[in-house]
Structures are given as structure tokens and as C-alpha cells.
Amino acid sequence: MPVLGQELVAANITRFGGGFIKHVNKVMKTAIDRLDIEVTKNISETTYSLKDLAMMDHPYAKRHGTKGKQIHDPYFKVHQRTGKLKSSKKTGVIPATISGGNLKAAAFIEMVAAKAPHAVFVLFGTSKMIPRDFLRGSLDIVKRDVNDILKLGLRDFVFRFR
């Protein structure tokens, strides 16, 4: 995300150093928490049992097209059975760094395959099942919220030091 007024930002980083980095990490945590809420919502659908899905002619089968039979919106929602997928979700913030005048900050949500080996099949599909990329889909839903969190959180901090 490009930052307007980068000279001011660079001067503030030099002047306040650690405080700015801590604030960037805090803003990243807020942004990833917002995304995490959406991901959790999209992997916690409990509307249908396995028996119900079978009675609906397996709506996630590839034979029904790239989005399957759309039984809910968004199509990539995942029905929770054991809770392993949700418990395999891991979030984090990679501490921000400044190198060569560039600020680098990152956060992530990942699915730990050791806890939920089926996550890869849900995300990428199989030879018979459509892929349901609930990670990318969730990001698309909250992209504007996350951008606002980042933009406003960092802008407000920079303006306080003007």
C-alpha cells in the first residue's frame, strides 16, 4: 500500500523509531483480527449435516460446475463437523522492520495441515470436489475494512507527530 507523505513518515520513524514500529504492529494485529473474524465465520457453517448434503446430490461436486450447486452465499463456506479446521487456524503478525528506508509489515492466517489434513482438499479441491478457498474469499469480503484499518491507523499516527 503506497504511503502519501513518505518524507514525513521517514522523519517520524527516524525521530520516534520504536514507537512507530510498535504502532505498525498494533495496526497489523487489528487488521488480521478483522480478517480472522470473517475466516472463522466462513468455516463455521452448520446449516447442513452430511446426510443433508447427500440428499442434495452433493452440492460441492465438480459435476455441478465451478461453484457447485450454490446452496448458500458465498459459495465457499465450509460446513463445520468436528471443528478441526477451525482449530487448525493460526494467525500472527510478523514484526515490522525498516530496511533501506522501506517499512515492511506483514500478518498471516494459515491452516496447520498437521491439525487438519483435509484443509488442503477444501481449499484446492479434489478430482471430484470444487475448491472452496475460504481464505481468499474472506479477504475479498473484508478487503475494504482491512484497507481502512491500515490506512487510518497509520495515517492517524503520522499526523499526531506533524
Has residue 108 been placed in a domain?
yes
Cα-Cα end-to-end distance for the chain: 21
Q: Is residue 1 part of a domain?
A: no
> What is the percent of the chain with per-residue pLDDT over 70, rounded to a whole number?
84
User: Where are the extended beta strands (E) located within the chain?
Assistant: 89-99, 102-111
Distance in angstroms (rounded) separating the CA atoms of residues 73 and 144: 19
Kindly report the pTM of this predicted structure. Answer: 0.80
Q: Which amino acid is at 72?
A: H
pLDDT in tens, 9-23: 666 665 655 677 888
Three-state SS at 94: strand
**Residue 122 falls inside a structural domain:** yes
What does 35-62 look like in DSSP terms, one character per residue?
Answer: HHHHHHHHT-B-S--HHHHHHTT-TTBG
- What is the tens place of the pLDDT at every residue in 39-63? 999 999 887 888 888 999 999 999 9
Q: Number of folded domains in the chain?
A: 1
Domain coverage including residue 87: 6-160
For residue range 74-95, list pLDDT tens digits in order: 889 998 878 899 999 999 999 9
